[in-house]
Amino acid sequence: MFILLKNAECYTPDYSGEKDILVVMDKIYLIEDRINESFLPGMQVIDCSGKIAMPGIIDQHVHLTGGGGEAGPASCIPELMLSELISGGISTVVGVLGMDGVARNIQGLLAKARALEIEGLNTFIYTGYYGVPVLTLTGRVMTDIAFIDKIIGAGEVAISDYRSSHPSIQQLKELSFEVLSGRMLGGKAGVLHIHVGDGKSGLQPLFDLYGESEFPIGMFVPTHINRSRTLFEQGMEYLKNGGNIDLTAGEKTGKGLSVQDGLKKLNDAGIGMDRVTVSSDGNGSMTGSGSSGETGKVSQLFNDIRTSILETKIPITTAIKTVTSNVAGILGMYPGKGCLAAGSDADILVVNREGFTLDKLLVRGQVLVDNGNPLVKGRFELRHQSPTS
């Protein structure tokens, strides 16, 4: 119930030096230069010398119930289990449906999110899938967002992709109206999360939507912006106009840009870094055809942030913000989540200073990962997964 993290180099995500962090129940109670260990009897004390403490990662794009399905039923990816998420340093996840709106639905996604929350994670979902009209729980996007706590937006709606329903600007306006009304009536941030494919129109539909309407630009989150260089250039333009952009982990520099190369370009340009985020697209199909048997890994997100810091020399604070406070701000979770502060949720990631490797993850004050290994597993996860055991 009481945990004291001692001598941690704190990135809140701004750098604040070496601190002690006192966790009481599910909240951060105090962050001070020194907190006396006798403050509370029976308190668990964890020495964090040589370690960094940062907010737990918020991954805003994960196919919790499995993506894929694009090469027939056998290509449907199984659902994601708790240990895989927490092993990637993720304390908060937003579940999303992809192209498959037939074998997967919002009910199943919501049930999965609730299950993971019971198992220890913070979870949210978007209503909808690739197509327009979207799939919903209550019959309308507006009421889904206004009345269902876990639903914090709509998506991933696909544009500029051969698998997209090719929504007209009018359809996107109508959908934006549903999201905006839902977010106002529900008192949430409420976003429209947009999958941008590698089709020839790129981000143009979003530029048109914004240009022809009065919707606040902050409600849109286009993702996969680093999948091609042309799209990335458009993304930079969109960022200059005040929009948010989300990069996807695991992309290699070639046709597109890796997260580290993308972040470097954006950081050098010095525009709107607080509106840049990165997500994993975890548990989706890697090839788009779903036939390779390869799935996106949620741990790739932490790996890409580490590479950005160690190899590309992106400032730690800048890199960390793209998966913590920036995401929390856009999704309306800040400052409860995405930062280390007295009163915030005790979602804390502890990383070894040397090599920036994952050590511990606390979610709502519970230590779920220690020494890089998950301490808990989902109810139906195999206890021994190695082939030799």
Q: Name the residues that contact Zn ion, by CB under 5 A.
A: 156, 195
- Minimum CB distance to Zn ion smaller for 56 or for 197: 197
Distances (CA, A) of 386 to 32, 126, 208, 380, 389: 43, 34, 51, 16, 6
Nearest approach, Cβ of residue 111 and Zn ion (Å): 22
Q: What single letter denotes the amino acid at residue 344?
A: S
Structure tokens at 7: 């001598």
Nearest approach, Cβ of residue 191 and Zn ion (Å): 15
- Minimum CB distance to Zn ion smaller for 227 or for 360: 227
Long-range Cβ contact pairs of 385-389 (< 8 A, separation 24 or more): none
Looking at 281, 304, 345, 347, which residue is catalytic? 281
109: which DSSP letter?
H
Distances (CA, A) of 15 to 302, 310, 315: 19, 17, 10
Nearest approach, Cβ of residue 231 and Zn ion (Å): 13
Nearest approach, Cβ of residue 311 and Zn ion (Å): 26
Residues with Cβ within 8 Å of 267's Cβ and at least 6 positions away in sequence, in order, are: 273, 314, 315, 318
Instruction: State which residue has the least CB distance to Zn ion.
Output: 195
- Minimum CB distance to Zn ion smaller for 156 or for 359: 156
The values of phi and psi at residue 20, to 5°, are -105, 140
Q: Is 246 a known active-site residue? A: no
133: which DSSP letter?
S
Closest of 130, 77, 96, 98 to residue 290, by C-alpha:
77
Bridge pairing between strands 366-370 and 357-363: antiparallel
- Minimum CB distance to Zn ion smaller for 29 or for 129: 129
C-alpha–C-alpha distance, residues 156 and 222, integer Å:
9
C-alpha–C-alpha distance, residues 226 and 157, integer Å:
17
- Minimum CB distance to Zn ion smaller for 63 or for 183: 63
Nearest approach, Cβ of residue 171 and Zn ion (Å): 18
- Minimum CB distance to Zn ion smaller for 195 or for 364: 195
Nearest approach, Cβ of residue 287 and Zn ion (Å): 13
Query: Which residues participate in catalysis according to the annotation?
Result: 281
